Amino acid sequence: MAGPKGPDRTDGIQPNAIRDDVDESTEKFASLEDTSGHMLHKQLETRHMTMIALGGALGTGLLIGTGSALATSGPAGVLIDYIIVGWVVFIIMTALGEMVSYMPLTQGFGGYATRFVDPALGFATGYTYCFKYMIGTASQLSAFALVMKYWVGDSVNPAVFISIALVGIIIINSVNVRTFGEVEFWLSLFKVLTMVGIILLLFILAVGGGPSGDRPGFRYWRDPGPFAEFKVKGDAGRFLGIWSALVTAVYAFTGTELVAVTAGESKNPRLSMPKAARLSFYRVFFFYVLSVFFLGMVVPYNSEALAFATHASKSAAASPFVVAIRLAGIKGLDHVINGCIVLFVLSAANSDFYIASRGLYGIAADGKGPTIFAPSGAKVFGYLTSCVTVFGLLVWMSILLCHIAFRRAQSIQGVDPAYVAYRAPFGTVGSYIALGFLSVLIITKGAEIFVGDNFDYKTFILGYIGIPVYLALYLGYKFSMRSSYVRAAEADLVTGVPTITVAEEKAIYEACRKEREEAKPRVYWVRKFYKFLAWLF
């Protein structure tokens, strides 16, 4: 068939996201218009999208939270946790890559839920994602103030640092999306280089390259052992430690889905989204798995310094990588790491602010929020709580539900493969497995609260409050608006889909790229350097 079928469509796709004039297929596209008439400027390139995805994932969850996971589960346990969650994130990212590359929507995740599952799910997903990053922005700003406290102590009020960072973030997000993309690109590049340096340092320390010449190797895997006992003794305590640390791993990986939020502001989302989804996760997986593996070789999970770090709050002293440096006897490097953490936190706060503001835009564009947010991108406020992870899990589950419904609709409606830019390698089977795992995890993630004599009701409430909020949003919208489930045969697989095939769009893109290169030729080594950067980013 000629293209995707859908409501009021008998002979292929009608013009929407990409116009017939090939001269306007790239740079001359100033905006992406959705069905409600709202506009987003299309100024983000592939390198922006890829590095934004990477920047949203590499943050305080890795540099600080990993210490808590190591102390709770041990070196083998934390490695297992990061591999499991990494696989789930890969499933989510490939599912997103398939949906977004076929149909880039300005409404964000809520738009896909509205179109393929149920408008009520779109309402709940949109607000849940927005809440998550409203909270995340405030949390990151608080973290920035506490990181700065490592140098200034109590001589400066934390509100000063929070105000300075917030003003800077608002300016970056308000000027234009390209400014945000450039700032986040270079911050994320710095974070990548920092993590490469940290991984190399940990490896060097593990093989005896530190000042003392000590070669720990797998010593700490033998004593105190590969798994930590958490709250109770024996195998039950070791399993509880692994399961409890999964939540920390989830928090560390949240943000990888940010690349899908930026698709509405990308010049060529159908071409850039698959590459961004694949490469961003592989790099994140590389950085996370290797860093926790080497960390477990140089820092014992029962170290007093590490036990102190897991109870410290958002400062360089709370970083397990600083603990590794101190145990190795490297003087002065703790200040360098603290400076790196400052930029990590600022980059994470910048990304969180962007997602929250675009989340409000998406809700408005989807017709489920005040339209005042649509043109302005919204002013975001946040309340500092500790429930970011549960909101993240709920959003991930919604994404997987959308992918399952999306694939079912494509199968029933017989979409032409020529219009499909990317297929998730594990298909709906992977989405079902990941959804089942996340369902079990979100219910049991607070199991350690019920172990022992003291029940911490505050931790229980904060850990599970996202679930009743999500259900209230879903059921409230469903009963008040009387929404119904979207049947696969009636799902809109047309509106917002490009009118040309993937091969045609690639040809146009390559022709425009060659035309630019011919107009501004570069010397041989510069061309090779840019080609390498294009592959890397």
- Please spell the DSSP secondary structure of 363-405, one letter per residue: HHHTTSS-TTHHHH---------S-HHHHHHHHHHHHHHHHHH
- Token code pair at residue 405: 């419904």
Count of CA atoms in the C-beta half-sphere (13 A) of 142: 13
CA distance 327 to 323: 6
Judged by average pLDDT, the poorest of 57-61, 173-177, 291-295 is 173-177
Residue 55 CA to its chain's centroid (Å): 8
Q: Which tokens belong to 184?
A: 């986040």
pLDDT for 519 beyond 70: yes
> 523 pLDDT exceeds 70?
no
- CA 103, CA 112: separation in Å to the nearest integer? 9
CB 73 within 8 A of CB 292: no
CA distances from 178 to 48, 173, 356 (A): 9, 9, 17
Task: Please state, in angstroms and rounded to a whole number, the distance separating the CA atoms of residues 514 and 151.
Answer: 50
Query: What is the mean predicted confidence (pLDDT) over 425-441?
Result: 94
Give me the mean pLDDT over the 461-476 stretch.
Answer: 88
Q: pLDDT > 70: what percent of the chain?
A: 72
Measuring CA to CA, how many Å separate 9 from each of 3, 12, 19, 495? 10, 7, 17, 10
* Amino acid at site 344: F
Contacts of 77 (CB under 8 A, 6+ apart): 69, 226, 227, 228, 238, 241, 242, 245
- Pull the structure tokens for residue 112: 């896909």
Please provide the DSSP assignment of 131-186 as one string: HHHHHHHHHHHHHHHHHHHHHHTTSS-HHHHHHHHHHHHHHHHHH-HHHHHHHHHH
Give the pLDDT confidence score for residue 41 in this predicted structure.
47
What are 131-169's pLDDT values in tens digits?
777 777 777 777 777 677 767 777 777 778 888 888 877
Rounded to 5 degrees, φ, ψ at 527 are -60, -45
Distance CA 482, CA 429 (A): 31
pLDDT range class, residue 473, cuts 50, 70, 90: very high
Query: Given this model, what pLDDT does residue 390 score?
Result: 85
Give every CB contact of residue 10 below 8 A, 6+ residues apart in sequence. none
Distance CA 96, CA 430 (A): 13
d(CA 145, CA 137): 13
Question: What single letter denotes the amino acid at residue 399?
Answer: I
pLDDT in tens, 359-398: 555 555 555 554 434 433 223 322 333 467 888 899 999 9
For the ranges 300-314, 419-433, 500-514, which has the lowest average pLDDT? 300-314
Q: Would you say 99 and 497 are in contact if contact means Cβ atoms under 8 Å apart?
A: no
- Cα–Cα distance measured from residue 339 to residue 334, given in angstroms and rounded to the nearest whole number: 9
Integer Cα distance of 161 and 188 in angstroms: 21
Q: Tell me the DSSP string of 430-471.
A: HHHHHHHHHHHHHHHTTGGGGSSS---HHHHHHHHTHHHHHH
Question: Percent of the chain, pLDDT > 90?
Answer: 21
- CB crowding 336-359: b at 16 or more within 10 Å, else e: ebbebbbbbbbbbbbbbbbbbbbb
Dig out the tokens for 17 from the structure: 């996201």
What's the helix, strand, coil split of the chain in %, to 5? 70, 0, 30
- Strand 39-41, strand 31-33: pairing: antiparallel
pLDDT given at position 472: 93
CA distance 472 to 466: 10
Query: How far apart are the C-alpha atoms of 93 and 260, rounded to whole Å?
Result: 9
CB atoms within 10 A of CB 509: 18
Task: For residue range 279-326, list pLDDT tens digits in order.
Answer: 766 777 788 889 999 999 998 988 877 654 444 444 435 578 878 888
Q: How many helices (H) and strands (E) does the chain have?
A: 21, 2
Q: What is d(CA 473, CA 467) in angstroms, rounded to the nearest whole number?
A: 10
CA distance 425 to 197: 32
Q: Distance between CA atoms of 310 and 329, rounded to whole angstroms?
A: 20
Please compute the mean of the pLDDT values over residues 6-32 and round it to a whole number: 39
Token pair of 44 as six digits: 């983000």
Average pLDDT of span 42-70? 68
Query: Taking CA 473 as the corner, what is the angle to CA 467 and CA 476, rounded to the nearest 5 degrees?
Result: 125
Contact 309, 318 (CB under 8 A): yes
Which of 129, 146, 135 is closest to 383 using CA atoms?
A: 135
Phi, psi at residue 153, to the nearest 5°?
A: 65, -135
Quote the pTM value.
0.79
Q: Judge whether residue 445 has pLDDT over 60.
A: yes
Cα distances (angstroms) measured from residue 199 to each of 202, 295, 320, 339: 5, 9, 13, 17
Radius of gyration of the chain (CA): 24
